[in-house]
Structure formats: C-alpha cells, structure tokens
Amino acid sequence: MTVKPNKQIFIELDGKQHELRFTWKALCLLEREVGLQFSDLAIQMERGSIGFSRITQILWATLSHEDNPLSILKLEDILDTKKMEEYADLIVEAFGVAFPDKEEEDDKGKNEKGQKTKNGLSKDTSKQVTE
C-alpha cells in the first residue's frame, strides 16, 4: 500500500470523526496493553490474525492522542461487529501512514527516470521534479 506522508485516517465512532494515529505514545500504550512488542503485533496484523479484542486495543491506542480519548470499555460498547473489516482496513491504512513502504522511502529524491537527485531537482537543474 502506498500512502502519502501526512495523510490522515479517520474513523466515525458514535457519530463523531476521530483520527487514527500510530504515535510513539500509542505504540507504547499498545505494547503495554497487549503484552507484546510492536514488531510481534505487526506480524499478527500482516497475517490477519487479530480478533475483536486486538482491534479494540489498537483503536484505543491510536485514539490516545485525543484530548478526551475513548476508553477500551467505551469502544467495546460502540464498535459494531458488522464493521470489523472496515476497522481492520482503517488500522492498516493508519499503519501505512506511520510506517511508509521502504520502496516509497527509497523513491524520494529521484527524478522520473529513477536517477538520484539532490533536493528534489533533476540533474538538469533547470527543471524541478515533483512527487
């Protein structure tokens, strides 16, 4: 999945829009809550082996940046089983924003011919490369 940096991922819960963010704080909270290092959790996510509790924990952590974050118990009350796939997709999208693909990172600073550039300029400094 290719995602532009600074893209925001929103989820509607209880009639309100909330931004999902994998912040440093969110990752620390999540590790403590699930008792796993994030790398192990990421493997579970890649395999698609996360259930209701794990989705709730991840959503809770990614909402922890808010002024009045929702508790896990509140999330358990408002999450809809019919939207489990939607929640999982949003989590994957938010993960992609926080951790862009290695290929995407490697492509930054290259022109349309794939040549390495400096400061976004092609070797012919008269034309600027746009991303």
Cβ atoms of 26 and 57 within 8 Å: the answer is: no
| Residue 26 and residue 90 in one domain | yes
- The verdict on 76 and 117 lying in the same domain is no
Is 0.75 topped by the overall pTM?
no
Single-letter amino acid, residue 114: G
User: Could you give the CA distance from residue 66 to residue 68 in angstroms, rounded to a whole number?
Assistant: 5
- Indicate if 94 and 115 belong to the same structural domain: no
Could you tell me if 61 and 113 lie in one domain? no
Give the domain extent around 131: 106-131
Assess whether 23 and 54 both reside in one domain: yes
- Amino acid identity at 6: N
Q: Answer whether residue 1 is part of any domain.
A: no
Q: pLDDT (tens digit, 0 to 9) for every residue of the chain, 131 residues total?
A: 444 556 899 999 999 999 999 999 999 999 999 999 988 988 888 888 889 999 999 999 999 999 999 999 999 999 999 999 999 999 989 998 998 876 555 555 555 555 554 444 444 444 444 44
DSSP E strands in the chain: the ranges are 9-13, 16-20
Which three-class secondary structure state does DSSP give residue 18? strand
Question: 91 and 116 share a domain?
Answer: no
Whether 124 contacts 112, CB under 8 Å: no
Same domain? 78 vs 121? no
